Structure 1
Amino acid sequence: MNEERDQFAELSEVRMCFRDEGNPAGEPLLLIMGLSSQLIHWPQEIVDQLGERYRVIRPDNRDSGLTEWKDAPRQYFLRAIARDTVELLDHLGIERAHVVGASMGGMVAQLLAIENASRVLSLCSIMSTPHVSIGMADGEVLQELVKKLPEDRDAAIAQTAALYALIGSKTHAEADRARRLDLATRAYDRARHPEGSVRQISAALMAPNRTPGLRGVRVPALVIHGGEDSLIGIAGGAATHAAIAGSTYLPLPDMGHDLPHALVTQVGTAIHSNASRAAAVV
């Protein structure tokens, strides 16, 4: 499970787990994952591909993975997760980074580009939305996301794999079946935060509409969204693209709310292409 790569940073409110990989001489690139997800939910293939050129940093957000609260857990706003990422950059001595976020991580990435523009070289928002009123799934899908896991390990892993199938790509479902089961197993064995998932969802639901702020984003921006996404519909990606002047839009009709193996190279290439545009802006 590559736990030997895990590092920890003492931040103001949490002890954050993160991995720092790739080209140490490359520009920093921050990968922020989404709801109920850990840093291992980023496919290693994307990390390795981007790591050829970039210093790739991926944290466990608060209430996920191996990141731990310093005091008693409490409800927070999405801005607190963004603040954690800025503190992590400070901890690593990084002034500016390319910022890539998926799902709730995309919301955090958008917020960073709006409120911490001086720290962001480029922005990539994947399967996300500027506001939960745009493209967000109905309550049934969200309830499956926070559904209590069975006590039995095998049953819990099966339930998680079923959730991945529910919200993930349908086109690549059969090809990714074994990978989804493996990911569900690794995620279960690494860490579980059932109450934390509820707090993360609450933070996303309480967040103000970022559309006005996104209109002021001036860094190179890429928006990626899947046509088979049943958690955040493609309208969320279209709205994000429409809000950011000059952004690049990559709709992928055969992608769900996941990063299927068949598309990871294409996604990684698009992230690099967008990040490369930052050289003309800085």
Structure 2
Amino acid sequence: MEQFIDAAPGIRLWTEQRGAADAPPLLLIMGAQATGVGWPEPLVDALAAHHRVIRYDHRDTGRSTWPFDERPYRIADLADDVIAVLDGLGIGRAHIVGMSLGGMLAQMMLADHPDRLLSATLIGTSALSTTPYTTPDGSTVPVEALPGISPEVLELWARPVEDHGQAAEVQRRIEHWRVLAGDQLPFDADHFHALEQRVIAHTGHHRTGTAHGRADNSGMLRTDQLAKNEVPTLVVSAPAEPVFPPPHPEHLAQCVNGAYVVEIPGMGHALPPAVQGPLATAILAHTGATATG
């Protein structure tokens, strides 16, 4: 079921619900410039067998309002949109699953609105914390010394995005996914081709948004609040991750009180078919062990 939510004056967010209406709610939060349909259908279906699954389009993605060029906003406003989606759908508390920027928004939810959460799952993201990383041998590593984004990803992100038509744009996105997916699993170009065709059909155009990369990201740190977290939290570790490579997941689990890590073999910063089953299993084990309140 599709529904639009008024998140703020002049801001409408596209949402979709799947699964039994009386099942425990589970909200999927995608990454920067990514639409809700970026969550793969088989993964959504697997989760919807046990949950009322909600996915949505951020501002400046998909079918939601694209306001940034006329009315710039902060990344923190995207976190407020998470609450707006829950309120608009009449959901008091939900499990949340956040990927990449979505994982950062999920951390802000853990810190600022723990009463709205049943559990959290954090994927492909880094800690909103200044707490140093403690290595297995007991030494400490400052946050700024943790591994950074891979040079291949940085080089791709530095290229100007030019419109050479839809076919060329789809191919550009596939090559982007090839790098993001990492080098531990065979690259499934057909999967990502179908994904981007679906995203374009859903959005209604092939323009690439840049709003989230330009938005003010100040005020996102939640060091003290995350250290006091009481919401059951799963951190997914992706060994082929090129954006937030290991030990970022282990560091994140140290920063979020009570969090634990599950590794998905071969996973990078993408959701190809090979990782969807293991990821669904990990998420459902986590949500299933959590009281529904």
TM-score, normalised via structure 1 length: 0.88
The size of the alignment, in residue pairs, is 274
2:201 equivalent in structure 1? 189
Mapping of residues 1-282 of structure 1, within 5 Å: 5-13=1-9, 14-69=11-66, 73-131=70-128, 135-137=147-149, 141-142=153-154, 144-145=156-157, 147-174=160-187, 176-191=188-203, 192=206, 194=208, 196-197=209-210, 199-203=211-215, 205-279=217-291, 282=293
Distance 1:181 1:69 in 2: 24
CA deviation vs aligned residue, 1:235-257 (integer Å, no higher than 9, x gap): 32222111122212012341110
- 1:87 and 1:255, CA in 2 relative to 1: closer, same or farther beyond 3 A? same
What secondary structure sits across from 1:229 in the alignment? coil
- 1:155 and 1:110, CA in 2 relative to 1: closer, same or farther beyond 3 A? same
Return 255-264 or 120-129, whichever deviates more: 255-264
- 1:224 and 1:204, CA in 2 relative to 1: closer, same or farther beyond 3 A? farther
**How large is the RMSD of aligned CA atoms in angstroms?**
2.3
Q: Could you tell me how far 1:170 is from its partner in structure 2?
A: 2.3
- 1:128 and 1:135, CA in 2 relative to 1: closer, same or farther beyond 3 A? farther
Q: Could you tell me how far 1:78 is from its partner in structure 2?
A: 2.1
Quote the sequence identity (%). 28
Return 246-255 or 115-124, whichever deviates more: 246-255
Q: Of the two, which has the highest radius of gyration?
A: 2
CA deviation vs aligned residue, 1:121-172 (integer Å, no higher than 9, x gap): 1010001111495554167624624741433211111000000001113232
Q: Which ranges of structure 2 fall in alignment gaps of 5 or more residues?
A: 129-142
Preserved contact between residue 157 and residue 184 of structure 1 (Cα < 8 Å): yes
TM-score, normalised via structure 2 length: 0.85
Distance 2:267 2:68 in 1: 39
Q: Could you tell me how far 1:41 is from its partner in structure 2?
A: 0.9
Which one has the bigger helix percentage?
1
Return 220-229 or 200-209, whichever deviates more: 200-209
Return 19-28 or 163-172, whichever deviates more: 163-172
Preserved contact between residue 169 and residue 260 of structure 1 (Cα < 8 Å): no
Q: Partner letter of residue 247 of structure 1?
A: A
Q: Which ranges of structure 1 fall in alignment gaps of 5 or more residues?
A: none
